Structure 1
Amino acid sequence: MAQIGQIIVDVPTMQTNEPYSYAIPAALAHQVQVGMRVTVPFGRGHRVVSGVVVGLSDDTNFDGDLKPIQSVLDLAPVLDDELQQLAKWLADTTYAFRITCIQTMLPNLLKAQTERQIQPTEPLSADEMQAYFPQGAPRDFDTAKLDEATLAGLLRLQRAGKVEVVYQVTSKAAAKTTTGIKPALPVAKLQEIQATVAKKAPKQAELLGYLQTMAPDKLVAQSQVAHAADVSTAVIATAADKGWVVKQPLEVYRDPFHQPVKPTQPLRLNAEQQTAVDAITSAVDEQRTENFLVEGVTGSGKTEVYLQSMAVALQQHRTALMLVPEIALTPQMVNRVKARFGHQVAVLHSGLSKGEQYDEWRRIDRGEATVVVGARSAVFAPVRNLGIIIMDEEHESSYKQDENPRYHARDVALWRGRYNHCPVVLGSATPSLETRARAAKGLYTRLVLAKRVNDHPLPAVHIVDMREEVKQHSEGDFSQPLLTAIQERLDRQEQMVLMLNRRGYSSFVMCRDCGFVLKCPNCDISLTLHMDTHTMKCHYCGHEEAIPHICPNCHSRKIRYYGTGTQKVETALQKEFPTARILRMDVDSTRRKGAHEKLLRQFGQHQADILLGTQMIAKGLDFPNVTLVGVLNADTALGLPDFRASERTFQLLTQVSGRAGRAEKPGEVFIQTFNPEHYAIELAQQQDYERFFVTEMHMRHQGNYPPYYFAVQLTASHEEEAKAAKAMYQIVGQLQKGLSDNAIILGPTPKAIARVKRKYYYQVVIKYKREPQLKAVLEKIRQAAQIPARHGLTITIDPEPMNFM
């Protein structure tokens, strides 16, 4: 009986989580493994699609003739058992399809069009070389062009560890190579030649002497040989011409660490830090699944707690995974981890090139990197035998993915913690209400770091009432107290961080005569002025058009810029302080690869006095010379129709305040606001998280919001508004039939921004405590949504949405 493979196929229409059965050809019998990618014929025509092997069996329920697997795309599984199970769980909990979840886990290079080459990892016999590498190694590995016997033989060699497949993307990101050198002759012959050339060609003699010290079959980079033998590349070229050395391409890993890092030693811990480390490492020692909340004020030394806890896991020959919320924070955190653990560290985030991502993924997959640091998607790193998982700034909304699969990295981290029997450490100065509520219930172990390291005081926080400022000094971006504080810091040659909750030059363009606001033709949102490109831009769909000088509606010339953007503030700052050196850090100034790191390095080296930026500068940055933080518009988020608006404002203000006075010099913070009495702003001034937690929980309880209720958001979108609305009303009918009377169904309503990228959006929000039928009802809605999707109607399901906008 032929072996049968259970394959999840990748077809864009009518997807399913159920695998299809395919026959495994005799030549591939017992070679195909679970977790490999394969190509299979699909449907009635000659269509070939890719898929992933999720199971192997000897029988099937299918009565007809099974189609055979056409080819394998890998010689070894790209998904181990843990990631296979994780994909299944993820599909189940996020209402996504399994193939989508699997693709989310793999690096881009394994999703893109790739060319594969196969090469020996150790010397093969003459017969093996003749059979499998007749033209020499490496060779292209195109399974469609290989006969069954060759493919089966290569699979056997791979299982014996004698060959490996190297993926090269068909675009620019190929495997990086340099010229490698190895001796072509035995040591005795090299000595003989050296004796004859010693007098007339001393440099050649030096090279011949060095070649005798090299391993006979190990390639060494040409640059390394030239340096060690103290010869030029021309001398090596002559040696190659004379047949003394062999030149071959040598693959080298792309290194995402572009700057050398100075090694650090573990710091002495204070009593609170020691208590935290002891509790976490006890769970590491016992291989115990336990979730910790490290709630520490900004500057309390949470990072040192993480590093010393990770060190214990590594001592036990286990691995460590550390998540940070965004690329902007990655350089500083990666450098700290790299300084402590050196070459064991791999980094994964979207700021890397495809080639760098793939090289780092391979280092992790091969077990060469035992510490992984990265943003949200790094939670899927193929790291095995996890000893500890750490999630820094766990409250950050960027840990939630806003497209399929709509997972939260925290949930995935907790799943992997359970699977690997290891602790998960969630760290924050301002934990999310859900996490803090779980700690209050005893589901998480709460560890508090209430004091800054070295007992440095928290910065003094001043609230500036902008209503009074506007009366006294007319409208502007800076209050008088903040201007005075900036001048004092410039005089003392200290640095400062100024935060604005918006990018661009100004928020919108409006006509003073008729009130016309220039909007995006594709989205229901005003366009933002960008002075660097002299255009109006939409921050949702990317639409651009020229800046108007005459109102398109009433043709008046009284069209003006309103609101404040980072570029406008930069211009105003430069005018106010002509000698100040200003760095602007927002989405526009950090588009280029490595821009985050470059800007932070410049600021760290005191090449600028003021770091002006959006929310990306609020968290994680640690510069000892920063003594002033200014928040120019604390109210931006408070005006949003979002139940988390107060929580986000409190977190942001507390986090950005923590950037000041982290070393010997005391810090000061100025928060400019038109809502000085709002509890989120008042409690952020006092940095009183516990009182904020109690106040906000009371508000959530009154409004039946998370964490007292679970929530699911369903959204319908279509280019015709009526079709989106009709679909949503039909879905509400299904929900009312299938759910109990205790479920709260809100909507359908148009979304806060009702039109984006020429599509209209309608939503329904379900709030519930226990709904046994909810999963079945939502699954039915998801399956039924695949047919109208072909005609432009998209239905999405978002479990535990981060906002309802």
Structure 2
Amino acid sequence: MWIHVIVDVPTGQTDHPFTYRVPAQWQASVKVGVRVHVPFGIGNRLIQGVVVALDVEPTEGFEIKDIAAVLDEEPVLTVEQLWLVEQLRHQVFSFKIQLLKTMMPSLLQSQYDKLYQATEKLGSDDCQRFFPNGPERQASKMNPEELAEIQKLVAKKQVEVKYLALDQASLKYENWYRSVPRVLESLVISKQAKRRLEARDYLLQKSDEGRLVDFNKEFSSAISKYFREVGAIEVYSKSISRSASFFEGVESTQPPVLNPQQAAAKRLILGHVGEKKTQPVLLEGITGSGKTEVYLQVIEQVLKDGKNAIVLVPEISLTPQMTKGFIARFGHQVAILHSGLSAGEKYDEWWKITHGQARVVIGARSAIFAPLQNIGIIIIDEEHESSYKQDNNPRYHAREVAQLRAQYHQAALVLGSATPSLESRARASKGVYDFVVLNQRANPLALIPSVEVIDLRDHRTTKGEQTISPPLLEALQETLERGEQAVLMLNRRGYSSFMMCRVCGEVDTCPNCDISLTLHLSTRTMNCHYCDFRKGIPQTCPNCQSQDIHYYGTGTEKAQKELELLLPEARVLRMDVDTTRKKGSHEKILAKFGQAEADILLGTQMIAKGLDFPNVTLVGVLNADTGIHLPDFRSSERTFQLLTQVAGRAGRATKPGKVYLQTYNPDHYAIQYASKQDYEGFYREEMRIRKMAAYPPYFYTVALHFSHKDPKLVEKIAYQALGTLRQFLSPNAILLGPTPSTISRTHNLYHYQIMIKYRQEPRLEAVLNHILEISQTKEFQAVRLTIDHEPQ
């Protein structure tokens, strides 16, 4: 028996299946989609691979080797996923093994240290068996079969965790702790005995079972061992789901009656389920128009018809309200996949999906690869978000993957947004997408908030920068007096953007990146937001030793300090990357705000979408200009989208809402159209500019990024690639560069880029694959290349 295997060696020379022979002992186990260990290359070192075909013809003229082991009892990749890899290889310029690994559960790719941590959490003897010397043992000393055995153990459907079965009666009798010295008038109890008595009291207060690993953390493994020996507790294994907590405390809800616009959208979308040729539906709905309820009721009908659903949302860990809404409607049929989950939680959700226990998958970008069968509908909410594009290899866009999967299953594909991307809106105008608009709020009593633009040039003071203008401060005071809540957005974290010496003009920059360091007062450090370099706050200028240094720019941390000074009675919550590093912190902050334990929620763009709090009547954007002048042709589009989204957080219930946009550029068209909540007006103006500048959606784009620690070498290789492109592409292709990237150095690497703009280039895929292949050879001299189709 011969099979085809894609090996885990991401190079151009290995980007195709290799033929292997299957010994008799593995023939019953080998299936398409399982991982295998195979000998490869000189020395026949064992590496991992994925079986992509069975019963193939042997390749003549080549030595065919035997596989060493089958690593999985069941396939970890479906036939559809293997088909997807072949399709995406034409769009995403990454090697097949990189695409395959993107679709696998991360736990099956875990490195030694992560496996150690996961095994330790099992609270079982397996940790001691596999890691007798703790984390010090190196992965290189572990053979592949042993590594696979640990992966299987850690990645069981539900982790086996030791539980305490408590014998309450025996705990109350003295026979088991007679050996514990009692407190007598003439004796002082020993420390060990005291801890045992504390443990006994702890157990008596608890229910009839609990996790041994938690008990050991509270006390020690020695104490639990003693209790087992004297018969006070019994230890046994019990399967638990690592993701069970998602469903705790969520009450079920019933679908409300849709308004006429929502009902029409539902009918149109359901009409696309089962179509032979998928035509995506662009659902443009203003904030508060009830797009989510349309999604829920469409999915309900799809489930009744025996089909399943995938829902993508951006940064799902930031939008627990939406997650709970789906769980409330569909219960344990829901599986959740996003980056905030542990590897074990992700695996349990993946297992639910592969075994048909989940019928609705809700998640971030990578959830589009969920191994769901019989899909009836795929929904991408906030489809304009750039987070749907993977920013490292493989650089896929979830929208393109969704279109392939919808075609494969003859499923409906819905792209929803209050501010669609220009590419999607242009396709809708040409009939490539079906188009439906919701321009009324779902709650008839909820009015679209009024928006006021505040020109910060009118409020400049000699005292320096002031984040809160007088009109916004007055509005905040009035909001607090009414017992209502406010949301303030400043899309820049930290305290100050940069430090500059006022004598010599020196700016404190990162030693690894060409970027200024940001002051973080809470940690008293200067931080780089690219490579995470940190150092203490300097007291003198590093160049001239002057003490006349000043901090410029404002971040969320500084804005919080200013709010506490101006409104000492206000309870302020801050939500940014710095306050949400711990798992579950997003949910805790939003829960506190939703329970009226705070008056003001201050944050970065993560508060701009997915939040629905009925008592929020005021939204303030402290600086609408933070992204408007970035050297990016989408900067105006992103500014308009962000301002429109955050404005939609106000007045979502019966109370009227008010929005204040603070800006130094009040006449900029993106701010003007955002203040009017006029998407169609912005769309027409932005399309006019894009056409003049030959940018999407009028042209397609591809970016080639080159990186190396030697700036002269990376420039030389970039120019060589430019020569190859000129040789093979038509004169109609527009080639920009090579030029240093916007931030020319990060992580001690220098970056150059080439941008290709084109309409039709039949030879483009072939020439890009050619450049990708030679990038793995000595000719490229270790310069790192990434090819980004439609870069964001």
Query: TM-score normalised to the size of structure 1?
Result: 0.84
Per-residue CA shift, 1:417-472, capped at 9, x if unaligned? 11110001110000000000111111111110011113322100000001111169
**Corresponding position of 2:194:** none
C-alpha contact 2:615 2:653 (8 A) present in aligned 1: yes
**Corresponding position of 2:633:** 643
Displacement of 1:353:
1.0
Displacement of 1:26:
2.1
3-state SS of the aligned residue for 1:567? helix
C-alpha contact 2:560 2:572 (8 A) present in aligned 1: yes
Matches within 5 A, 1:755-770: 755-770=745-760
C-alpha contact 2:4 2:56 (8 A) present in aligned 1: no
- Whole-Å Cα distance in 1 between the matches of residues 12 and 274 of structure 2? 47
In the alignment, which of 73, 79, 82 is matched to residue 80 of structure 2? 82
**Corresponding position of 2:609:** 619
C-alpha contact 1:288 1:423 (8 A) present in aligned 2: no
C-alpha contact 1:505 1:528 (8 A) present in aligned 2: yes
- Whole-Å Cα distance in 2 between the matches of residues 258 and 557 of structure 1? 56
C-alpha contact 2:368 2:398 (8 A) present in aligned 1: yes
**Corresponding position of 1:411:** 400
**Corresponding position of 1:523:** 513
Displacement of 1:91:
2.5
**Corresponding position of 2:576:** 586
**Corresponding position of 1:168:** 153
3-state SS of the aligned residue for 2:578? coil
C-alpha contact 1:348 1:372 (8 A) present in aligned 2: yes
Displacement of 1:145:
8.2
C-alpha contact 1:296 1:450 (8 A) present in aligned 2: yes
Structure 1 residue identity aligned to 2:425 = R
C-alpha contact 1:459 1:668 (8 A) present in aligned 2: yes
Q: Using the aligned pairs only, state the percent identity.
A: 54
3-state SS of the aligned residue for 1:261? coil
- Whole-Å Cα distance in 2 between the matches of residues 272 and 651 of structure 1? 23
Structure 2 residue identity aligned to 1:492 = R
**Corresponding position of 2:95:** 97
Per-residue CA shift, 1:234-256, capped at 9, x if unaligned? xxxxxx99x9x998512111125
3-state SS of the aligned residue for 2:610? coil
In the alignment, which of 372, 397, 402 is matched to residue 361 of structure 2? 372
Greater CA deviation, 277-286 or 500-509? 277-286
What's the RMSD between the two structures over aligned residues? 2.8
Displacement of 1:682:
0.3
3-state SS of the aligned residue for 2:651? coil
In the alignment, which of 219, 229, 250 is matched to residue 261 of structure 1? 250
**Corresponding position of 2:734:** 744
Pairs aligned (count)? 708
**Corresponding position of 1:420:** 409
- Whole-Å Cα distance in 1 between the matches of residues 162 and 779 of structure 2? 48
Specify whether residues 538 and 257 from structure 1 end up closer, same or farther in structure 2 by C-alpha distance, changes over 3 A only.
same
3-state SS of the aligned residue for 1:52? strand
C-alpha contact 2:319 2:611 (8 A) present in aligned 1: no
3-state SS of the aligned residue for 1:94? coil
- Whole-Å Cα distance in 2 between the matches of residues 273 and 595 of structure 1? 34
Displacement of 1:641:
0.4
C-alpha contact 2:158 2:242 (8 A) present in aligned 1: no
Specify whether residues 759 and 174 from structure 1 end up closer, same or farther in structure 2 by C-alpha distance, changes over 3 A only.
farther
Structure 1 residue identity aligned to 2:161 = T
Specify whether residues 361 and 720 from structure 1 end up closer, same or farther in structure 2 by C-alpha distance, changes over 3 A only.
same
| Pair 1:249-2:249 in alignment | no
| Pair 1:718-2:704 in alignment | no
Specify whether residues 474 and 32 from structure 1 end up closer, same or farther in structure 2 by C-alpha distance, changes over 3 A only.
closer
| Pair 1:543-2:533 in alignment | yes
**Corresponding position of 2:161:** 177
3-state SS of the aligned residue for 2:300? helix
- Whole-Å Cα distance in 2 between the matches of residues 705 and 652 of structure 1? 21
Displacement of 1:318:
1.2
In the alignment, which of 487, 500, 514 is matched to residue 490 of structure 2? 500
- Whole-Å Cα distance in 1 between the matches of residues 738 and 150 of structure 2? 52
Specify whether residues 758 and 299 from structure 1 end up closer, same or farther in structure 2 by C-alpha distance, changes over 3 A only.
same
C-alpha contact 1:38 1:52 (8 A) present in aligned 2: yes
3-state SS of the aligned residue for 2:705? strand
Greater CA deviation, 275-284 or 736-745? 275-284
Displacement of 1:792:
3.5
C-alpha contact 2:288 2:652 (8 A) present in aligned 1: yes
Structure 2 residue identity aligned to 1:738 = F
**Corresponding position of 1:203:** none
Displacement of 1:789:
9.1
3-state SS of the aligned residue for 1:497? strand
- Whole-Å Cα distance in 2 between the matches of residues 414 and 500 of structure 1? 35
Displacement of 1:64:
3.4
Specify whether residues 532 and 173 from structure 1 end up closer, same or farther in structure 2 by C-alpha distance, changes over 3 A only.
farther
3-state SS of the aligned residue for 1:40? strand
Per-residue CA shift, 1:357-411, capped at 9, x if unaligned? 1111111111111111111111111111111111110000111111000011111
Which consecutive unaligned segments of at least 5 residues does structure 2 have? Answer: 117-142, 166-205, 211-227
Specify whether residues 483 and 590 from structure 1 end up closer, same or farther in structure 2 by C-alpha distance, changes over 3 A only.
same
Displacement of 1:16:
2.7
**Corresponding position of 1:678:** 668
Matches within 5 A, 1:324-473: 324-455=313-444, 456-470=446-460
Displacement of 1:475:
3.4
C-alpha contact 1:399 1:409 (8 A) present in aligned 2: yes
Structure 2 residue identity aligned to 1:62 = E
Per-residue CA shift, 1:505-559, capped at 9, x if unaligned? 1100011111110000110000000011101000000111111111111221110
Greater CA deviation, 257-266 or 63-72? 257-266
Displacement of 1:638:
1.0
Structure 2 residue identity aligned to 1:64 = F
3-state SS of the aligned residue for 2:582? coil
In the alignment, which of 34, 46, 50 is matched to residue 52 of structure 1? 50
Displacement of 1:283:
2.2
C-alpha contact 1:25 1:68 (8 A) present in aligned 2: yes
Structure 1 residue identity aligned to 2:647 = S
3-state SS of the aligned residue for 2:66? coil
- Whole-Å Cα distance in 1 between the matches of residues 157 and 454 of structure 2? 51
- Whole-Å Cα distance in 2 between the matches of residues 684 and 620 of structure 1? 18
Specify whether residues 471 and 106 from structure 1 end up closer, same or farther in structure 2 by C-alpha distance, changes over 3 A only.
same
3-state SS of the aligned residue for 1:87? helix
Per-residue CA shift, 1:702-735, capped at 9, x if unaligned? 0000000000000111101001100111011001
Structure 2 residue identity aligned to 1:778 = L
In the alignment, which of 8, 23, 27 is matched to residue 25 of structure 1? 23
C-alpha contact 1:346 1:369 (8 A) present in aligned 2: yes
3-state SS of the aligned residue for 2:752? strand
Displacement of 1:289:
2.7
In the alignment, which of 547, 554, 558 is matched to residue 544 of structure 2? 554
**Corresponding position of 1:659:** 649
C-alpha contact 1:300 1:453 (8 A) present in aligned 2: yes
Structure 1 residue identity aligned to 2:240 = V
3-state SS of the aligned residue for 2:588? helix
- Whole-Å Cα distance in 2 between the matches of residues 533 and 713 of structure 1? 37
- Whole-Å Cα distance in 1 between the matches of residues 693 and 160 of structure 2? 56
| Pair 1:634-2:624 in alignment | yes
In the alignment, which of 550, 556, 559 is matched to residue 569 of structure 1? 559
Per-residue CA shift, 1:298-354, capped at 9, x if unaligned? 000000000000001111121111000103443111100001001111100010111
C-alpha contact 2:160 2:237 (8 A) present in aligned 1: no
Specify whether residues 628 and 259 from structure 1 end up closer, same or farther in structure 2 by C-alpha distance, changes over 3 A only.
farther
In the alignment, which of 257, 270, 289 is matched to residue 281 of structure 1? 270
Displacement of 1:175:
2.0
C-alpha contact 1:738 1:773 (8 A) present in aligned 2: yes
- Whole-Å Cα distance in 2 between the matches of residues 247 and 317 of structure 1? 42
- Whole-Å Cα distance in 2 between the matches of residues 691 and 309 of structure 1? 30
